[in-house]
Amino acid sequence: MLGLAVSCHAEPIAPTATTQPVEQWKTAFYKRGFVGNYQAGWADGLNSTLRLRVPLALGGSKVRITLAPMREEETILSKLSLAPAKDGEGTIASTPVALSFAGKPELKIAPNQADVVSDAADISIKPGAWYLQESYASEKYLYAYSVDGFFNEAGDRHDAPKLAEFKNGAWPGNVTRIEVLTSDTRPIILCYGDSITHGYNSTPNGGKAYPEVLGRLTKLPTLNFGVNGDVITYSGGAPGLVESCQGVQSVIVLMGINDIISGMIKSPQEYSNIAANLIANLKHGGRKVYFGTLPPATGFAAFDKDPNMEILRQAINAWIRKESGADAVIDFDAALADPENPARMKTEYQSDWLHPNDAGYEKMAEVAAKEFLPAP
């Protein structure tokens, strides 16, 4: 077993000259929400090549990658590499750079061990879409629900210009965090939420989730910490996770619709108690918290089962607008609602009456961007 250090974030690197800016390790990508074990047989067998699109929010001179263990089984990573994306169709723009672990390409991750960090690799990182490539010599490894899916082929195809086979609906592999050594001092926006933040039903590999669009509009590094199915009821760990990302000055929170649909929250008081505590904890360290109103959900079958769900959504939004104590409110509800029927999204913005489509996510980003751009 390799003796590797647990990830340590934001270690300053002393400049070599007084004229050079100080470089720090900062999180450029994070994948939240692992939900189970992915079998290699679903991806063309052992040591097949998995190619996954990752939007890197920051550029820098070096990169390192953190991998998480499984709970009950050993994971054997045989190869890990990173290359800039040429397009969203599985094509890389240049030869990938291989990552190593204590000087070796392979890694055995014991169950329940600490997270493992790769060696720092010299890669000139530019912000934007990259392809992370993984190969596993173990039958099972982690996966999470994803909006982008992945490309794969049997065997070692890390250097292949294009992988044509696309599989939707999962993010396979143990990688959780990608960090870059950067001198970029721009404030980072972190978007925390559920599937609406994650970008569910947006175009796969299209960069259409609202956090990625927000980053393009504001020209500020923006991280997507959304995960499908998440609930504000279990958001107690959010402040610590945000704290682990050096440079985050603003947090946008959009959570609660799953709590309503699942029945986990039955009153605006229950919601406000949790949300107020979350906001207060996220503000530590001088961060600003922007809280989003819950978008319309009428028309979605699970929501329509009980008219009280809409009453509760409206009551929660009233609290968010007037009493939340957030530094600012981003009114996603007003932005997406049909003026003639505010309980529903505009037809041109919805995909399934709960999640927006590409146009809806773009509208969300436009509304959020107003909080970060100079007034016209």
Q: Do domains 12-181 and 186-369 have the same CATH topology?
A: no
State residue 19's pLDDT score.
56
Q: Model confidence over 69-97: pLDDT tens digits?
A: 999 999 999 999 999 999 999 999 999 99
Percent of the chain with pLDDT over 90: 91
Q: Model confidence over 125-157: pLDDT tens digits?
A: 999 999 999 999 999 999 998 999 999 999 999
Q: What is the pLDDT of the chain when averaged over all its residues?
A: 94
Q: Measured between alpha carbons, how far is 291 from 185 in angstroms, rounded to an integer?
A: 24
State residue 114's pLDDT score.
96
State residue 20's pLDDT score.
65
pLDDT for 36 beyond 90: no
Greater confidence, 276 or 21?
276
| Domain boundary assignment for the chain | 12-181, 186-369
Q: Which of 31-35, 133-137, 236-240, 336-340 has the lowest mean pLDDT?
A: 31-35
| Fold (CATH) for 12-181 | Jelly Rolls (2.60.120)
Q: Measured between alpha carbons, how far is 35 from 373 in angstroms, rounded to an integer?
A: 36
CATH of domain 186-369: 3.40.50.1110
pLDDT for 159 beyond 60: yes
pLDDT for 6 beyond 50: no
Average pLDDT score over residue span 314-337: 98
Q: Model confidence over 198-255: pLDDT tens digits?
A: 999 999 999 999 999 999 999 999 999 999 999 999 999 999 999 999 999 999 999 9
